Amino acid sequence: MQPIATVAAAFLIAVSASYAVAGTVDLPRYPATSPDGNVILFSWRGDLWKCPSTGGGALRLTSNPANEGRSAFSPDGASIVFDSDRDGGRNLFIMKSDGSDVRQLTFGDSAAILSGTGVDGTGRPVAYFESMRESDLYRAARPYMVPLAGGSVERACDAFGSHPIATRNGATVLFERGSSAWFRRGYQGPDQRDVWTFDRATGRFAQLTDWKGNDGWAFPAGEDIIYLSDRGNGKSINIWRKKFTAPATDPGTQLTSFDDDVREIAVSTDGRVAIFSNWDSLWRLDLATPGAQPIKIAIQAAEDESDRIRPRSVGRDVTEAQLSPDGKTMAMVAYGDVYVKGVEERTPFVRVTRTPARERDIAWMPDGTKLLFSSDSDGNDSIYEATVVQTRGEVRSAFKDKVNPKKEEPKAEPAAAPAAAPATEPVTAPAPAVVDPAAPAPVAATPVVEPAKTDEPKETNKVDDKKDDKKDEKKADKKDDKKDEGARWADAVKIEVKPFIALPALSERGPSPSPDGKKVAYRRDLNTLVIRDVATGEEKELRTGFDQSIDWRWSPDSRMLAIRQDDDNFNSDIWIQPADGSAPAVNISRHPDMDVNPRWSSDSKVLAFGSTRVGNDGDVYMVFLDKDLEGMQRFELDQYFKDAAEAAKKKAAERSPKKPESKKDDSKKDESKKDEAKKDEPKGDDSNKDDAKKDDAKKDKKDPPKPLDLDDAYMRLRRLTTMPGNELDLEISPAGDRVFFMGGTGEAAGLNSVAWSGGETKKLGAGGSIQHMSLAGDKLVVVGKGGASVVNLPAGDAKAIDLSDTVELDLAAQSNQKFLEMARTMGSVFYSPTMNGCDWPKLTTKWSALANNARTDEEFDYVANRFLGELNASHLGVRSPGSEGAGRLPVGRIGARTVFAEGGFRVEELLRDGPATKGQTPLAVGDVIVAVNGEVVKPGVSIEDVFRGTAGKETVVRVMRAPAPGEPRMELDAIVVPGSSGEIRELTYQDTLRRARETVTRLSNGRIGYLHIAAMDQASLDVYERDLYAQADGKDGLIIDVRNNGGGSTADRLLSSIMVQPHAYTVPRGADPAKKGHYPVDRLFIQRYSLPIDMLCNEKSFSNAEITAHAFKTLKRGTLVGTQTYGGVISTGSTSLIDGTTVRTPFRGWYLPDGTDMEQHGAMPDIVVPQTAEDESASRDTQLETAVADLLRRL
């Protein structure tokens, strides 16, 4: 073995020689220390680094696209164990201390989170980690260990827990129970963390800390433990030290007093040095010197180019697309930037914006001159306009004019008088005179002849007239150019961007120009619909409320808007209101289910929208807003739609910007004709002219439009689709005779259409998101996975608008943009107006500085989640989109618990109905697996490793089996089809329920039924209704178990089943009249139960499951048994950042009738029964036993 001191010395020489110039390491995380505390490891930029514990240059140990996180030196310092997602999941790997010879240790599908290394009870070097690899119903990790030499994963103890680490001799395992997230600052609820120990020799558990907040990350240090706790001020996490033998109520001594949290910590094997992270640095604390203060470690390291800049092809990142009014140019948003591109093939694109900011909400002005969009480039969402400054044609023309200037034409010489005879010698012609280009063209000279007298104007007047003509022509050309401004987009090379609406301290999003271009509607501060006059800048708030997803659509005549908005009960309806606010909005859908996406026909007489009012499926609905259409017969409606289609095409042709044809000569002729006509007009009598003007005025004055029939529109709706699934993404044809929508399942999934009369739908193309329809109704713009495309109607053939651009992402700038957008969004949507007492602007400024140090997705998530943790709230979380990573082979699961023994994996336990028990060649307890598909099992491999890639495949498993105890083993080949982790998880869940039911039946002598609700969703509710009959029918009482239920939304449906108040019972002829309480189930909304009930809950009951537990207790339906629920009840949504990062957005609080906020106030059981580590080890359910006993007393 190479001495640790020698390794450290060689390392110090290497780093001093390798790093002459380096930058500061600004976000080091997950520190580890060598056994003697002289060398530290840390994660930075997604890789592992090491440096002296006193600071200096750091050496990069790994360079992999994957994320390397936690690490630890082996007990002898020669190797390093680390967790990484380089195999597609998060598993443990081991390498030499110089970064070479990487080898995989675990192969699970569930994340393995390293906590350290040490020895087990026999002195074998192992790595300790936590994982949820056993598909337990209890929603917590277990502590595990795996030999550093390789081999099977084993439990460190049989209780649930995390962050296991052993004492130096391996006799005792420290771990923590509870799983509240460390980044949530100030949580003091039933799922808080405490430090525990497990004595391997006695099998006993002991609680070392007892604090209502979080204690954890414990390490042994001689007779003491070093641990992290937020007990100092109830919020800031710091380092504490206490004796192993001290009572749990004795917290020991606080060693640090940071305001910002001490995060990850590592302690040297000898217990003399602690290395920890705080804010943007690592720190060293001398544990051997009483009263020592932490010392900041200055670390330098050189970054690769890939650490700062990341190229990204954005062709498949298109999220929005809008076709210009003339149909020649497509505007798109791709990865937060605006692009324009001609729709013709091979035309180049122009990138309109080039900032780290996020641009979106593109919209063309109706004349095509401007493209509007929103951007957060000024630190808040504002609306900008883009216009064309220069086109390719203009560049080429200017280039030609400068390179090949026009030659100036010479003045013509007067013609010479006729000569008597030709000259005998050549005569040299004079040099041409320089001609003023503004002067009239020269004319040839004629013989001098006395001109005859005439009354015509002189030639000079004609020249003046020509000058005037040219001026008029220039004015006309300028006017024509202005009309043709929209056509320049397809040829644009230079575009100007400037603010359109940018109000300080306010957010402006979603610009939507009116069809006549006179007004723009937009969303201010996310929830107020504002109408802005383009010419004057005057604004009017048309509609406000709390709904931050309010959306609308202008009527084609620009007079009204169809608005979708939630009311205070979160019911979404369709409202129609005049754009000038002259009349109140009218609800034309009026239904307690969701109504969305209103779409007008071109004459405003037909409206289509989506609704979930039948069976919770989203269907297409239509209504005639003009009752005259209701009275038409089918043939009349067919003609109406035909006429409407023609009118729409004509209107589209009139509105579409077109380049006017040049008719200079014809205009001159027309003007001369007008002049001649003027000469012939009688003078002095203008009466006829005045009459003509009056007639023209009458013609120009249009009759006011007929009011729409809105008041009873909700009663005249017609359902057009009945397909399974949702058909809510839709557009209507200009005529109103057909609706195009995304929907369907199976082969029917994709772009479909349905006629106004409903009935059969027509499949047109692949799926995606409908953006809009052209004015003429002949094109539909769709954005799918491959980008934007134009679907030609009615055929349905699609033309892709290719965008091939690769951008260089400045990772620091992107982190800054993402962070500020996330903070801004959370500040506007979080359910507490006071942000739970946080100074949000101040915190945003503080944490944005740290976020700027993040370069990898995982680093950003780390900072962002800690920032949101300042809110001390549930339903928060930031998660970047997962990278494709390495292709991994899923592990096949046979449903057997095994240990390595006798040259193979000995089967200790078989899961009922698991893969190993099925078929004609089932395995048996005691079998020893010695080969899989011909590959012999060797020492140092794990069961996951040998079954990699076998999920769902027929697999030959060779086992050694003893026919009877004491007899020689025989060799058998069995055919097994291993299942996936998900399949085994479901089988394990069903096995857990089976054992619970058997317990209840045994303890109650069959009088009580039992059912568990896995989640508060429709699938679980369907299972609940089944089990309510299967498990409770004929029983005297029922136990409903919502422990370990992560929530959902079906609490009220469940409560309607158990909170029913019987109003009658039925007795059919022939039935026993003495039996009361029966009721026809076909008359019920959901199966009901009115007999006595107990409900089980625990600290893993979360969100909607907590609402259920609170209601059960508030309504006094029965006895609530178990432990207090987590205290995490906020309705949440989510939003996406520029790169697809998901941010959860808790927006709606839940309160008990007395005003108590359910957030941080979990449901407290009537009978509190803790779940102990001893019970977990013995597989005993004391909470269930208590519930049975209580319910029996009440029967």
The CA distances from residue 176 to 71, 209, 233, 1035, in Å, are 19, 10, 21, 41
- What is the model's pLDDT at position 19? 36
Structure tokens at 51: 């440096």
> What is the spatial distance between Cα 478 and Cα 480, in angstroms, rounded to a whole number?
5
Q: Is 456 exposed, middle or buried (0-12, 13-18, 19+ CB in 10 A)?
A: exposed
- What is the model's pLDDT at position 744? 84
> What is the spatial distance between Cα 512 and Cα 497, in angstroms, rounded to a whole number?
18
Q: Is 877 exposed, middle or buried (0-12, 13-18, 19+ CB in 10 A)?
A: middle
In the sheet with 273-278, reading across from the earlier edge strand, the strands are 262-267, 273-278, 281-286, 295-297
Q: Which of 609, 588, 652, 550 is nearest to 741 (CA)?
A: 609
> Residue 547: how many CA atoms within 13 Å on its side-chain side?
18
Helix axes 857-868, 811-829, angle to 10 degrees: 30
Residue recorded with tokens 């109103």: 736
- What is the model's pLDDT at position 966? 86
> What is the spatial distance between Cα 266 and Cα 269, in angstroms, rounded to a whole number?
9
User: Maximum CA pair distance of the chain?
Assistant: 148
> Residue 923: how many CA atoms within 13 Å on its side-chain side?
35
Per-residue pLDDT tens over the stretch 71-110: 999 999 999 999 999 998 999 999 999 999 999 999 999 9
DSSP code string of 544-571: -SS-TT-EEEE-TTSSEEEEEEE-TT--
Q: Is 822 helix (H, G, I), strand (E, B) or coil?
A: helix
Amino acid at 554: W
Rg (CA), the chain: 39
Run means of pLDDT, 10 residues per run, the chain, 1195 residues: 39 39 88 98 98 98 95 99 95 98 96 98 98 96 98 97 98 98 97 99 98 98 98 94 98 98 97 98 98 98 92 97 97 98 93 97 97 96 97 93 79 51 37 35 33 41 48 47 74 96 92 98 95 97 94 98 96 98 97 97 98 94 97 95 94 68 45 45 49 51 83 97 94 98 87 94 94 96 96 94 96 98 97 98 98 97 98 98 69 96 95 96 97 95 95 97 91 97 97 98 98 98 97 96 98 96 93 90 92 98 99 98 99 97 98 98 99 98 99 97
Neighbours of 569 (CB within 10 A): 6
Q: Is 273 exposed, middle or buried (0-12, 13-18, 19+ CB in 10 A)?
A: buried
| Angle at CA of residue 285, ends 224 and 231, nearest 5° | 60
Q: Which of 147, 131, 62 is nearest to 100 (CA)?
A: 62
Structure tokens at 711: 């008041």
Sequence length of the chain is 1195
> What is the spatial distance between Cα 300 and Cα 360, in angstroms, rounded to a whole number?
39
Name, in order, each residue with C-beta under 8 angstroms of 872's C-beta and a sequence gap of 6 or more: 184, 185, 186, 187, 836, 1160
> What is the spatial distance between Cα 487 and Cα 659, in angstroms, rounded to a whole number?
8
Q: Is 841 helix (H, G, I), strand (E, B) or coil?
A: helix
Phi-psi region at 1014: left, alpha or beta (left = phi > 0; alpha = psi -120 to 50): alpha
Name, in order, each residue with C-beta under 8 angstroms of 448's C-beta and a sequence gap of 6 or more: 417
> What is the spatial distance between Cα 787 and Cα 1087, in angstroms, rounded to a whole number?
47
- What is the model's pLDDT at position 520? 99
> Residue 765: how many CA atoms within 13 Å on its side-chain side?
23
- What is the model's pLDDT at position 346? 87
Q: Which of 351, 342, 333 is nearest to 487 (CA)?
A: 342
Residue 333, strand partner residues: 320, 338
Q: What share of the chain is helix, strand, coil (3-state, %, to 5)?
A: 20, 30, 45
Helix axes 811-829, 840-851, angle to 10 degrees: 160
Structure tokens at 396: 């080429």
Q: Which of 540, 537, 597, 541 is nearest to 573 (CA)?
A: 597
Neighbours of 660 (CB within 10 A): 12
Structure tokens at 749: 């999934």
- What is the model's pLDDT at position 886? 53
- What is the model's pLDDT at position 34? 98
E strand segments, 617-680:
617-624
The CA distances from residue 866 to 214, 536, 825, 957, 1063, in Å, are 15, 46, 16, 47, 53
| Angle at CA of residue 771, ends 767 and 774, nearest 5° | 115
Distance of CA 1182 to the CA centre of its chain: 41
> What is the spatial distance between Cα 911 and Cα 71, in angstroms, rounded to a whole number?
34
Domains of the chain with CATH codes: 4-303 (2.120.10.60), 546-659+708-767 (2.120.10.30), 896-979 (2.30.42.10), 1005-1127+1162-1194 (3.90.226.10)
Structure tokens at 372: 């509007």
Residue 800, strand partner residues: 789
Structure tokens at 397: 């023309």
